[in-house]
Structure 1
Amino acid sequence: MTRRPSWPLDPVRLRPARRLLDVFVSSALLLLLAPLLVLLALLVGATSGRPVLFRQTRIGAGGREFALYKFRSMRKDCTGPGVTGGSDARVTRIGRVLRRLSLDELPQLWNVLRGDMTLVGPRPEVPDLARRYPAERQWIFRHRPGLTGPCQLRSRQYAAQLDGRPDPEEYYLRVLVPQRVLRDAEFLRHATLRTVLTYLVRTIVYVLRAARPRGGGS
């Protein structure tokens, strides 16, 4: 029988240069994007009601829990699996736009500034799913989760694979988690400032491409 790792795990400390980058970028973006954040809050409130922010417990560095913040993109008081497919009926109309453009993630800049998260790293996981990861994959929770990263830039692809699955959580844990951890491991082996900056640029491109009008043609 495979031995489960003990929780909390031994956290991997973030290098000082990366922490300085986190503080500088997150604080600068929170100031620059303040009008957009207010506008999005008003938009969510007007179309979906309160609460505007979605607060959820996630796993941080060393397996310790923290409160993650997002703009609410799902209907209130809805239940369902802990993973979200690309065509999940729980997502509101405005929520689909926010998710497609990654605007729902902007409040996580506050998590980065606080030190719960870093700019680039593994995707933050919910405790129930984290503890159901295969034992050999749980080492990923030693690391600080990221606002963006190799898996976050494939979030729409992963979500689409969950559509139509009779048990989305089982598929996620059995098929997608090994793929995600492998990609995160590759990044973490080369998590230099240059690599982090490269992922930040790739994230900007990812969002801009999502903002382009769909369909069309001559």
Structure 2
Amino acid sequence: MPRLGLLILDVSLAGVGSLLALALRENFDLTRDRLLEFLPYFTATVAVAFLVFAIGGITRAIWRFSSQPEYLKITATLILVIIGAVLITFAYNRLDGVARSLPLIQCLVCVALLIGARVLHKIAHDGRQIRKASAGFLRHTDAEPVSTLLVVGISKLAETYLQAITELAPGRIVIAGVVGRTDRHVGRLVATHPVLGELRDIDDILNDLEVHGIAIDKIVVATSFDALTAVDRATLLTLERSRNITVQFLAEHLGLDLKPQATPYRSNCRSELSFEIPPLELREIGKRRYWKVKRAIDAIVAFAALVIFSPFIVIVAFVVAATVGFPVIFWQQRPGLGGTPFRLYKFRTMKAAHTFDGRRLSDDERLSSIGTLMRRVRMDEWPQLFNIMRGDMSIIGPRPLLPCDQSEAYRARLLVRPGLTGWAQVVGGRTISPEDKAALDVWYVRNASLRLDLEIAARTIPMVLFGERICIPAIERAWRDLSAGGVLKGTLAYKTENAL
């Protein structure tokens, strides 16, 4: 079933669960007046569920491959939905007609319906044991991925290989997805990894992954050579010759290749400059108590913002769906804290790259009118509040760059969580050079404090309303401080740009 169908089904189950909870609370003695009193709360529940389910991604996993971590995610997501519905209804009519025990009953019933449907579907079709996924642990490990793979083939062999990577190479190998030989399995999951498409479209799949910031190092064919058609073999051969990607057949490599390789976050950036924080200062930065306080503030502010702006977020989501289409959320893989990859979410502002007749559209043609406005006032970045809630990002911090723009020379900026807004944005903006941005980001890492974060937050408001302004003194101060602190390495064959 397409993702939109799964989303509608999950939202419908949440709606049915809400009505069933009301019936249980009233001992199935429902009157027309009672249902009318319940209508505002029911509407808020469905609206918030549509938004949170779409952004939270609980509809992406095919039910027959559901697992325990997904059930926990569903439970947490439903709790967030009910809290949001309660707050919205309280602001509307102070929860008139909603009993205090109803949200608790509603939560239990909705959890039972959404998880129960998946469990029954799984038992009926596969009877598999519930598997523990390691995706959550990979997000918190310090191990840096060294290879990003694409697996070709959907079979027991492919599933065994994926499970072996999960057990034996956590953090060393990242699976970008699975490619089938037909489109029959597209959209499903194999051992928690998505089926991205069919083999004949692998070139388009690789291009799409690059758009999302994912660079493939190796393609592993988890099927026999004889099972491939002549066209499949030619496709793989052409791919290996035209791209810097190694194609391996799993049958020829029974063990895992764990030799160190280039990090997937390789960059084409070249610079004579680098920023290297001295070891003693590095330890001092890591021990600052402010990081724990900052994380708590991030979680509280992000949750409050989601609750307060949830009606507007729902409206924007519907507008994007009407003007741009589904999905309403666009994601890119970015290096986060310590270089650990995470998915950064944004509202879509651009239409599909091709028309129905196959004509490729330019970026100007793809950018919708509402998308231009959203970008100007940063509305497209609202979904990153969920990244902040998850701990991928912070309210204040260096903006996460695309992997191709994250030079190893500027790796010091990855010592803190990336932010929704940052020092480089409020005193520099988009027009300053990458070197200036890196200098401002590293300066922030060394000087982060509650006072500085409050200043950045205060500067962000006029930046959004009136546009970016370059602050030359702040940029020059960053370069002076970094040079005096022994952080700046290499030849300073660079001069700060002058404002026009």
Fold match, TM over 0.5?
yes
Q: CA deviation at 1:8?
A: 9.3
- Distance, in Å, in 2 between the alignment partners of 1:75 and 1:154 is 32
- Distance, in Å, in 2 between the alignment partners of 1:58 and 1:144 is 11
Q: 2:352 aligns to what SS in structure 1? A: coil
- The equivalent position to 1:152 in structure 2, one of 425, 436, 445, is 425
- The equivalent position to 2:309 in structure 1, one of 15, 33, 43, is 33
Q: 1:116 aligns to what SS in structure 2? A: coil
Q: Superposition pairs for residues 168-183 of structure 1, below 5 Å?
A: 176-183=433-440
Q: Superposition pairs for residues 94-173 of structure 1, below 5 Å?
A: 94-130=370-406, 133=407, 135-153=408-426, 158=430, 161=431
Q: Which has the higher contact order (CA 8 A, sep 6+)?
A: 1
Q: Is the 8 A contact 1:54 1:71 kept in 2?
A: yes
Q: Please give the root-mean-square deviation of Cα atoms over the aligned residues, in Å.
A: 2.7
Q: 1:22 aligns to what SS in structure 2? A: helix
Aligned to 1:204: 461
Q: CA deviation at 1:45?
A: 0.8
Aligned to 1:84: none
Number of residues paired by the alignment? 177
Aligned to 2:296: 20
Q: Deviations over 1:165-200 (max 9, x none)?
A: xxxxxxxxxx72211011112222221011111111
Unaligned ranges ≥5, structure 1:
1-5, 79-87, 162-174, 211-218
Q: CA deviation at 1:15?
A: 1.0
Q: Is the 8 A contact 1:102 1:207 kept in 2?
A: yes
Q: Is the 8 A contact 2:393 2:419 kept in 1?
A: yes
Q: CA deviation at 1:108?
A: 0.4
Pair 100,199 (structure 1): closer, same or farther in 2 beyond 3 Å: same
Q: Which runs of 4+ in 1 moved over 4 A?
A: 6-10
Aligned to 1:44: 320
Q: Is the 8 A contact 1:7 1:63 kept in 2?
A: no
Output the TM-score relative to the length of structure 1.
0.72
- Distance, in Å, in 1 between the alignment partners of 2:304 and 2:437 is 30
Aligned to 2:448: 191
Q: 1:198 aligns to what SS in structure 2? A: helix
Q: Is the 8 A contact 1:71 1:105 kept in 2?
A: yes
Structure 2 counterpart of 1:191, one-letter code: A
Output the TM-score relative to the length of structure 2.
0.33
Return the index of the structure with the highest Cα Rg. Answer: 2
Q: Is the 8 A contact 1:8 1:62 kept in 2?
A: no
Structure 2 counterpart of 1:199, one-letter code: I
Identity across the alignment (%):
38
Q: CA deviation at 1:143?
A: 2.4
Structure 2 counterpart of 1:148, one-letter code: T
Q: Is the 8 A contact 2:412 2:442 kept in 1?
A: no
Structure 2 counterpart of 1:152, one-letter code: Q
- Distance, in Å, in 1 between the alignment partners of 2:379 and 2:462 is 14
Structure 1 counterpart of 2:420, one-letter code: L
Q: Deviations over 1:107-144 (max 9, x none)?
A: 101111110001111111122332xx2x3222222321
Instruction: Using the TM superposition, name which of 175-184 and 40-49 deviates more.
Output: 175-184
Structure 2 counterpart of 1:201, one-letter code: A
- Distance, in Å, in 1 between the alignment partners of 2:452 and 2:352 is 38
Q: Is the 8 A contact 1:108 1:147 kept in 2?
A: yes
Q: Is the 8 A contact 1:8 1:63 kept in 2?
A: no
Q: 1:147 aligns to what SS in structure 2? A: strand
- Distance, in Å, in 1 between the alignment partners of 2:425 and 2:345 is 16
Aligned to 2:333: 57
- Distance, in Å, in 1 between the alignment partners of 2:351 and 2:427 is 24
